[in-house]
A and B are shown apart, each in its own frame.
Chain A
């Protein structure tokens, strides 16, 4: 160690000591207050809610204890703690604690700049897989629909740590790669030719079974007939197979049901309609026999395979794009492989979203070579190499090399391109973006923003609404919701889909028109089709197409009037003001209420027996228990304010015989009557909403949970956003240019 650094270290030590000696504001003023009002419950092993305030050190407040102190702040600001039956802090004491938390403890220390954090390599999730193969090879198959569902972390399916790769998924990768490669490259092989199966039947007496089929092009076909017999008498069933009136095969069927046999006929067929006839010739029946009295012929099915040996007249787009020059089949296989190597290089680079390495090109060429060497056709060998490419880690994972331990590095152009495209499109980079990466044009923040803005205008940006919006706002959960059909007979498939679309289209609109994110809270418009308009009692809308409508804001406005959100936060038979309140606090204001203490039943029994009265009255009784009240007074009033919406989001003024009381008072004393006033009250919490939105989007875009140090990025982005009318493009631009998005730090060590 040099003299200079040891010198500065000793100065640092002195400074630290002097602070301790002089007792910090925390030690001098705050800790005593916490001791007075909080430690009774929040001390030692049995601390309530697992919050052990006595153990917290000031030095950790900005880092590892940040989340805990945030909870404390929410409790104090919401007047939720200390509970009503405990000693209440004087207004001055309360103010001291709150301002210490706000101006000291929770002010992130951003003096060192923003830390980028570490993102675990991520396999593509299902949406991303489907989109990527579609953009890469222009195929319309969606193989990932058959993959196991992706696990979610922090509310999103983009989190590398949570996305696992079990054996069943690898099997599906192989099948998917095969299916995609077949769809992308046409082939002449029989085992990849298209098949069409006609139903079979039973022939229990002598006669014919006719099946008609069409072929789209002239060519060689294989007909596969699967048969077995009920054996009786002295001989097996005898059958003939004829195509278009000409007998092609005559054979005995000695096998039983347990082992059907397949017979194949190769035949040349012109385009058009054809008939295959299977005839049973030797029926036998012996009523006296104990067993084996009845001889029958069973046809399991007839499968038409082909055309064989010809490429279809209409080649897939990717086939044409791939074979920019032909691979001559009669050339030496090594020379063929040389051509293949040239053809595969650009495709592999696109697939791996960076320049493919020589090793990778070599390996793929080897797959081609090996297949040709075994006698596979050029096209089939190409399919195999493509499949190998699609199963490889370089394709299924988005890999960002880890920097040296303890260091940080900037992501390279290709890595930035992928981060952008998977964030905004849930897919791979397009030509423009890839070209920009090749040219090294994704280095400056301006270049990155230019690309991001272009991408947001692209139709593919709908992925942001569907995947980010769909998860942030819980829309995907709509598939799992089953409102009681007796109580809600109107809730049908059309409505389920319409309420989901409303919110997606709303989100898309905000992106496309570059609106303020605050419109999520208080927009005076929405999008409805005829079905949804009926649900919302909006007149004059016809047809399935969604149209923008102005709202009667006394009834609806912003996300809180969307039936999607109102439905996913309800129970099958009734609304749940608690769930609604909790959902809004968590997802719109990043202020989740504290978790319930263990073993507190919902709408609990107590010694007096059943709670009685309306839902609201019962909940109010529940809240008379101080242990419950602290949290419920944060959640319930918000939920009460939405009681004018039933469990599927329809407007109502009564629930059964009870008139709806949608009034309430938030813990800070602000009151409201009905959803419209609640909306106005909540819309004032724009700082919290903005921060919440940024946190959610950052989590989704980065693919990791946020750490304490990300508060610096969130605060900065929030400030920029507020100064720019909160336009969503500004939020996105700030996210994609932040160090967290453009750099990576090494793993290992304390996170």
Chain B
């Protein structure tokens, strides 16, 4: 290109860039959008999926009787004060978490299948594949109304070396959110970074003008990135393109976020301090992640989230509740009553963290109700009895009122092996998410 023509290009485009095109659209806030589609008072429904690994000691989990709760079983007792806000759903299964000819690897499959209902492709790295997860189905339609289509939180990061489960890539046993069949969404575990992402866009104490400037800066960076992507794409093969597509779809998502809303609204409610980093103790860590999830819902930053208490197959020890053994090791309890008791302790500890989360949601007013009334929280795992790697009788707790769509406070028993995906189908429907394109959630579950 000659100097002259390049200059012309620069002149032409340069003025274009100088115009603050997108600012003109800023008055359209997510609230305004949401209010436009639903009635003025109707609050958006939030969806969260919480995962605990290695199965549950089911005898201490399952209420003895069907119907309205009587006495809560031992593991669920921390939820006593919220007995009207959750149900236990018994008899649900995820049959695609079974081997189905793929041999061992139940932990990897459990995590990968939990929200996808799909059979994980057995591979250590090449061509990982499972299916889009329900949270991402929800995010695809609900996520447009919020700054973040979804959040993926967890106490554990992915494993950093070695192998995980019987020939399955570690990504399966550390990921429940899948943006596509082939794109896992990693979890964020550092409360400071999560907070900054939600509320500060990475720069504390920044003035509004400086922030607007930075948005322009981000946009010009992304313009170049897109152009560059186009030029490199030509030389790529199919698998390479898939990687570049991940890049491009991320660019588009970030671009929308920059353009979508004014920055004033993204401040954290005052009195909420920014976390320093990852807390020393696991208890505090889980608590902080739960708090951030509530905060994200409360500020309408997102309405879809996943929170993984520990990776599937986790060997984490719980010495602070007198369980110094590794969780996974214990879960193969061989019917040893002492191990049963320790497993139940771990289960109960996790439920206490859930109780904290639910209490926070409930104490956050929203309109004339509260956040828990407008949420649907699925808590559970994709293994029933850890000793047997049972995927057919899963521990599933459903909390919240879903804006009136749910009738909690009961133990509901379904036919054995009723697909868990049917529950997800019903929840997506209740949340107003589009599910037509997703055959794996075609079913519906009654009596929730």
Contacts of A118 in B (CB 8 A): 237, 239
**Cβ of A194 < 8 Å from any Cβ of B?**
no
Q: Which residues of A contact B126 (CB under 8 A)?
A: 153, 159, 161, 704-705, 751
Tell me which of B72-80, B323-331, B414-422 binds A.
Answer: B323-331
Q: Which one of B128, B222, B236, B333 lies within 8 Å of A121 (CB-CB)?
A: B236
Which among A237-245, A395-403, A419-427 touches the partner chain? A395-403
A65 to chain B, nearest CB (A): 16
Interface contact A610-B336, CB-CB below 8 Å? yes
Q: Given the known inter-chain contacts A153-B171, A369-B10, please indicate yes or no for A164 contacting B186, CB distance below 8 A.
A: yes
The residue in B9, B214, B227, B389 that gathers the most chain A C-beta atoms within 10 A of its C-beta is: B227
Cβ–Cβ contact B205 & A572, under 8 A: no
Q: How far is the CA of A360 from the CA of B153 in the complex (A)?
A: 37
| A552 in contact (CB, < 8 A) | no
From B193, B238, B254, B329, give the contact of A167 (CB < 8 A): B254
Q: Point out which of A159, A191, A226 has the most chain B C-beta atoms below 10 A from its C-beta.
A: A191
Inter-chain contact total with CB atoms closer than 8 Å? 316
Convert B1-19 into 0s and 1s, putting 1 for each residue whose CB lies closer than 8 angstroms to a CB of A: 1010011011101110110
Please provide the chain B residues from 155 to 206 with a CB less than 8 Å away from any CB of chain A in the complex. 157-163, 166-167, 169-171, 174-175, 179, 183-188, 190, 193, 197, 202, 204-206
The 8 A CB mask of A120-164 against B (1 = contact, 0 = none) is: 110100000000000000000000001011111111110111111
C-alpha spacing A257/B332, complex, angstroms: 53
**17 chain-A/chain-B pairs, Cβ below 8 angstroms:** A45-B101, A152-B169, A152-B171, A155-B161, A155-B163, A160-B239, A162-B169, A164-B184, A168-B186, A337-B10, A366-B224, A399-B240, A471-B160, A484-B319, A484-B324, A572-B317, A572-B325
- The bracket for how many chain A residues form the interface is 35 or more
Instruction: Tell me if B231 is interfacial: C-beta within 8 Å of chain A.
Output: yes
User: Nearest Cβ distance between residue B169 and chain A, in whole angstroms?
Assistant: 5
By a CB distance below 8 angstroms, the chain B residues around A191 are 206-207, 210, 213-214
Check A148 against B187 for contact (C-beta < 8 Å).
Answer: yes
Q: Kindly supply a per-residue 1/0 record for chain A positions 575-606, scoring 1 wherever the CB is within 8 Å of any chain B CB and 0 otherwise.
A: 01000000000100000000111110111110
B244 at the binding interface (Cβ < 8 Å): yes
A486 at the interface (CB under 8 A from B): yes
Residues on A with beta carbons closer than 8 Å to the beta carbon of B206: 191
Minimum distance in angstroms from B228 CB to a CB of chain A: 4
A153 touches B326 (CB 8 A): no
With A and B bound together, what is the CA distance between A580 and B214 in angstroms?
Answer: 52
Q: With A148-B188, A153-B171, A359-B227 in contact, do A603 and B125 touch (Cβ < 8 Å)?
A: no
- Report chain B residues within 8 Å CB of A150: 158, 160
Q: Return chain B residues, CB-CB under 8 Å to A392.
A: 224-225, 228-229
Is there contact, CB below 8 Å, between A597 and B237? Answer: no
Segment at the interface with A among B245-253, B367-375, B436-444: B245-253
Bound-state Cα–Cα, A611 to B186, Å: 41
Given contacts A118-B237, A169-B250, A595-B104, contact A474 B162 (CB under 8 A): yes
Q: How far is the CB of A604 from chain B (nearest CB, A)?
A: 5
Q: CA of A474 to CA of B197 in the docked complex: distance in angstroms? A: 32
> Does A171 lie within 8 Å of B197, measured CB to CB?
yes
- Contact A402 B224, beta carbon cutoff 8 Å: no
Q: Please give the distance in Å from B66's CB to the nearest CB on chain A.
A: 28
Q: Does B70 contact A (CB under 8 A)?
A: no
Contact A705:B125 (CB < 8 A) given known A371-B220, A477-B159: yes
Contacts of B228 in A (CB 8 A): 360, 363, 392-394
In the assembled complex, the Cα of A360 lies from the Cα of B228 at a distance in Å of: 7
Smallest Cβ distance from B164 to chain A, in angstroms? 9
Output the least CB separation between B173 and chain A (Å). Answer: 11
CB-nearest residue of chain A to B1: A358
Given contacts A171-B197, A370-B18, contact A151 B170 (CB under 8 A): yes
Task: Across the interface, name the chain A residue whose C-beta is closest to B217.
Answer: A384
How distant is B229 from chain A, measured CB to nearest CB, in Å? 5
Chain B residue nearest to A224 (CB atoms) is: B205
**In the complex, which residues of chain A have a beta carbon less than 8 angstroms from the beta carbon of B447?**
none
Do the beta carbons of B246 and A151 come within 8 Å of each other?
no
B205 close to A197 (CB less than 8 A): yes
B31 close to chain A: CB less than 8 A: no
Instruction: Name the CB-closest residue of A to B99.
Output: A598
CB atoms of B335 and A605 under 8 A apart: yes
Q: A118-B239, A148-B186 are in contact. Are A486 and B124 (CB under 8 A)?
A: no
Residues of B within 8 A of A410 (CB): none
B157 touches A572 (CB 8 A): no
The CA-CA distance from A49 to B105 in the complex, in Å, is 12
Which residue of B105, B158, B235, B324 contacts A487 across the interface (Cβ within 8 Å)?
A: B324
Please encode chain B, from 371 to 402, with 1 for each CB lying within 8 Å of some chain A CB and 0 for all others. 00000000000000001110000000000000
- A746 in the interface (beta carbon within 8 A): yes
Kindly name the residue among A148, A168, A262 whose own CB sees the greatest number of chain B CB atoms within 10 A: A168
CB pair A571 B315 closer than 8 Å = yes
Nearest-Cβ distance from residue B70 to partner chain A, whole angstroms: 32
Closest A residue, CB atoms, query B218: A174
Contact B14–A599 (Cβ < 8 Å): no
A470 touches B161 (CB 8 A): yes
Q: How far is the CA of A586 from the CA of B227 in the complex (A)?
A: 45
CA gap between A396 and B250 in the complex, in Å? 14
Within 8 A of B (CB), among A168-226: 168-171, 174-175, 177-178, 190-191, 195, 197, 224, 226
Question: Does B193 contact A482, Cβ atoms closer than 8 Å?
Answer: no
Known: A359-B227, A596-B104. A747 touches B187 (CB 8 A): no
B65 interface residue, CB < 8 Å from A?
A: no
Q: Are A486 and B253 in contact (CB under 8 A)?
A: no
Q: Which of B77-122 contact A (CB under 8 A)?
A: 99, 101-106
B37 within 8 A of A: no
Interchain CB contact under 8 A, A373 and B218 = no
Q: What are the residues of chain B within 8 A of A470 when measuring CB–CB?
A: 161
- B232 within 8 Å of A by Cβ? yes
Across the interface, B326 reaches (CB within 8 A) one of A171, A471, A474, A572, namely A572
B243 within 8 Å of A (CB atoms): yes
Contact between chains at A573 and B221 (CB < 8 Å): no
Interface residues of A in 242-259 (CB under 8 A from B): 257-258
User: Are B161 and A393 interface neighbours, CB within 8 A?
Assistant: no
Q: Flag if B207 contacts A262 (CB, 8 Å).
A: yes
B365 contacts chain A at the CB level, 8 A cutoff: no
Chain A: which residue is nearest B98 at the CB level?
A: A598
- Interchain CB contact under 8 A, B236 and A370: no
- B317 near A165: Cβ-Cβ < 8 Å: no
A369 engages B14 (CB within 8 Å): yes
A297 at the interface (CB under 8 A from B): no
Shortest Cβ distance from residue A491 to the other chain B in the assembled complex, whole angstroms = 12
- A357 at the B interface (CB under 8 A): yes
A257 and B272 alpha carbons, distance in the complex (Å): 12
A257 and B270 within 8 A (CB)? yes
A374 close to B161 (CB less than 8 A): no
Please, which residues of chain B bring their CB within 8 A of the CB of A476? 160-161
B432 within 8 A of A: no
Bound CA span A195–B205, Å: 9
Does B334 touch A at the CB level, under 8 Å?
yes
A597 touches B104 (CB 8 A): yes
- Look across to chain B and name the residue whose beta carbon is closest to the beta carbon of A179: B202
Indicate if A50 sits at the interface (CB-CB under 8 A). Answer: yes
Q: Which of A156, A161, A178, A190: most chain B Cβ within 10 A?
A: A161
A184 to chain B, nearest CB (A): 15
**B127 in the interface, Cβ–Cβ < 8 Å?**
yes
Q: How far is the CB of A735 from the nearest CB of chain B, in Å? A: 19
Q: Is B353 an interface residue (CB 8 A)?
A: no
Interface centre among B17, B18, B225, B315 (most CB of A within 10 A): B225
Are A370 and B161 also in contact (CB < 8 A) when A362-B6, A595-B166 are?
A: no
How far, in angstroms, from A118 to B236 measured CA to CA in the complex? Answer: 12
Choose among A149, A177, A359, A485 the residue that contacts B231 (Cβ–Cβ < 8 A): A359
Q: How far is the CB of A631 from chain B (nearest CB, A)?
A: 11
The 9 tightest CB contacts between A and B, nearest first, are A153-B125, A402-B237, A747-B237, A401-B235, A484-B324, A149-B157, A370-B17, A170-B250, A602-B332
- Minimal beta-carbon separation of A264 from chain B (angstroms): 8
Inter-chain CA distance A393–B249, complex, in Å, is 13
